[in-house]
Amino acid sequence: MKSKRGFVKENEIETSQGKDTFAGLATQCSTEYQLAWKHQKPKKDEAEVRLKLYNNQRRDKSAVGDTTLFSIQQTVVAALYMDRLNVDFGGREEGDEESADNLTAMAKFDYTEMEKDELDYDWIWDTAFFGRGYVDMSEWERDPEKKIYLPLPYVVDPIPFLRDPLATSVNGDRKHRGSARFYGYEMKMTEKDLSDSPHMFSDIDFKAIKFGSGTQSLLKDAISARDLAQGRQTTEKQEKESMLGANSQYTITKWNTHWKVGDEVKKVKVWLANDRSKVVGVEILKKEYWPLVDRSLYPTAHDWDGTSIPDLTEDKQRARAVAQNLGLSAVKADIYPMYIYDSKKIVNRKDLKFNFNKFIPADSKGEPLSSALTPLIKSRPNLALLNFIMETLGVSAQKATATPDIQQGIQSEKDRPLGETNLIATKVDTRYSLSARIFGWSEKRFWRQWYQMYKDNFADGIDEKVLRIVGAFGAKWRPLMKKDFVTNIDPDIIIESKVLSRAKQLEERQSLTEYFGFALQEATSNRRWGLKKLGKLNGLEKDEIDRLFPPTIDERIAEDQNDILNEDTPVKVLPEDDHNVHLEIHSKAKETNATKAHIETHKAALSIKKVNPEFFPEEQVATDFQAPGTKPLPKPEESNQASIKPSQTSGQT
């Protein structure tokens, strides 16, 4: 019988084949950790130094610090954060359009519930500063009583994160080439955290778990580095941790690796304590991919780390800080002049006591010393050269990161014509567009795993997700079951940059507006569709367009008929149907035999109408509206309401 924490004993794993021991799992994980630690420790040390450089609150108060790294980091982060990546789902099979629309609505709803706006900032900041950022996609919140079903992604600290030295990304390509064999990181957990986790062993002896981080702890180094950068006192009092009672935290290593379970090699998640010598929990993963999404800013082909903002700016900032402080010292030297005086002629040194000047005694040995006092000749600094160095270093950093002065919100030192300024802005947008497209790779992986979490954890026929959708008609609630958004074939995921989509939308709107002006004059043109298309290109949401152009009765009837046709049930075609509208709506239905017959019947009706228009009712023309200065529209002549006979059609009537 399983306990609250999952497994029966601390030295066995329950599998479909029975119980497998995991003797040696801790040794394997510890060996993998040490291999990754030796490989990546120098880069982690450098990252900790850069954190202090980014915000050094313990620098010498008499010196000044340069802000090149901070300015460029925040400029890049701001540009990428404001350019929100939009997600849309598309069906892979006929009839999946409604499920895809539901997924898009769920993603928009969960964006707020998951607090993804805050997650995105941390994710982007880590990616820009460390070269690669990570989001864990393994936690899930489920509360059937409150109808809460929500993935709980969180950002992983890159400093304590360690991974397979031979990997190029977390999950590699489609065939998992270059994927990580193992990875993990340290974290803090209380006794309650361990007890509440369903993956921990039922018989954990907490007295046997030691406090403290032990050796090779990157988490301890990360905490110390951030304390130093912020000017806090760094203390490691692990011996006092046990005195905090329920707030006492153990240092646990959360490690992901491969392990033979039964006759198969599985991906497993392992929790280790006591400096990775004791396994306290195991989870066997069901999927062939790791539940972690990695994101890079300037990726390098065939390499994991790529390039970060500090890689491009750290040396410039250090050099600029040195130059600034040397220049400041030179200015002080000019303000506080130095003199040499003849100690034989000026005996009372108090006569030379002034607030700012410095006097150096010298024995002239009878030789004149410019009447007993003369200024000390010093080399004068080349301020023009100093300014050239400062400007060159700044431009170099700006070129590398595409963050010129105008991108940082600073007036350029040189007067530039408007055309050149616009050209610079365009090229900057091109560089940022590349970063946005690269971010789109990880955003697509994020939403693919988000969908997979619903697919794996949402109970079919039991769980119900209720969406709150706010639109032009106010708030409304849409309940969804699993069948309403999970499809046989996983949907397409379309990620589009808001900036790029707006630019594309503007270009398309400008070209189509002029074209529609001529096209809609054609009597047979679909004016309603054209106006809806222009509304979408002008930024109107679907519900706003529906409010501007309420669905016609034929559109509503055809939508209802699609539900019947999807079940392969025949639907009668009526002579008063607007067949073109029905054909447009029925194109979204599943390709069943009933759908094919129904569509062919509409086509046959259009053919009959062309040959024998007297069989069809005349289209109703509105006569109750009269524009000022115009004559009333003529009333249509009455016609016979003839029905379509089955012999005249090729489908069900």
The number of C-alpha atoms within 13 Å of 444 and in the hemisphere containing its C-beta is: 14
Name the 3-class secondary structure at 573. Answer: coil
Give the N- to C-terminal CA distance of the chain in Å, as an integer: 61
Is the pLDDT at 504 greater than 80, yes or no?
no
Contact 639, 617 (CB under 8 A): yes
Q: Which tops the pLDDT comparison, 382 or 91?
A: 91
What are 292's strand-pairing partners?
136
Pairing of strands 249-261, 264-273: antiparallel
147-161, 196-210, 617-631: which has the highest mean pLDDT? 147-161
Instruction: Tell me what pLDDT residue 630 has.
Output: 40
Neighbours of 254 (CB within 10 A): 19
Q: Please give the structure tokens belonging to residue 261.
A: 């379970």
**pLDDT tens, residue by residue, 584-598:** 888 888 888 999 999
Exposure b/e, 192-227, CB count within 10 A at least 16 = b: eebeebebbbeebeeeebbbbbbebbbbbbbbebbe
Pairing of strands 154-156, 132-136: antiparallel
Is the pLDDT at 16 greater than 60, yes or no?
no
Q: Which residue has the tokens 């997650």?
A: 119
**pTM, two decimal places:** 0.74
Rounded to an integer, what distance in angstroms lies between the CA atom of residue 564 and that of residue 592?
Answer: 10
Rounded to an integer, what distance in angstroms lies between the CA atom of residue 58 and that of residue 323?
Answer: 20
Nearest Cα neighbor of 267 from 281, 287, 293 is 287
Q: Which residues contact 184 (CB under 8 A, 6 or more apart)?
A: 29, 33, 161, 162, 253, 254, 255, 256, 257
**pLDDT tens, residue by residue, 265-293:** 999 999 999 999 899 999 999 888 999 99
Given pLDDT bands bounded at 50, 70 and 90, which one contains residue 643? very low
Nearest Cα neighbor of 270 from 4, 8, 13 is 13
Q: Please give the structure tokens belonging to residue 401.
A: 């990161």
Rounded to an integer, what distance in angstroms lies between the CA atom of residue 35 and that of residue 182?
Answer: 11
Contact 199, 6 (CB under 8 A): yes
Exposure b/e, 413-426, CB count within 10 A at least 16 = b: eeeeeeeeeeebee
Rounded to an integer, what distance in angstroms lies between the CA atom of residue 239 and that of residue 218?
Answer: 19
- In this prediction, residues 348-353 reach a mean pLDDT of 61
- Alpha-carbon dihedral sign for residues 271, 276, 279, 283: positive
Q: Please give the structure tokens belonging to residue 319.
A: 């050099």
Pairing of strands 249-261, 148-151: unpaired
Q: Please give the structure tokens belonging to residue 638.
A: 């009455």
- Alpha-carbon dihedral sign for residues 235, 240, 243, 245: positive
Given pLDDT bands bounded at 50, 70 and 90, which one contains residue 624? very low
Instruction: Tell me what pLDDT residue 60 has.
Output: 74
58-62, 433-437, 446-450, 486-490: which has the highest mean pLDDT? 446-450
Instruction: Tell me what pLDDT residue 212 has.
Output: 79
Rounded to an integer, what distance in angstroms lies between the CA atom of residue 632 and that of residue 636?
Answer: 12
- In this prediction, residues 327-351 reach a mean pLDDT of 68
Contact 269, 282 (CB under 8 A): yes
Is the pLDDT at 486 greater than 80, yes or no?
yes
Pairing of strands 12-15, 18-21: antiparallel
Is the pLDDT at 465 greater than 60, yes or no?
yes
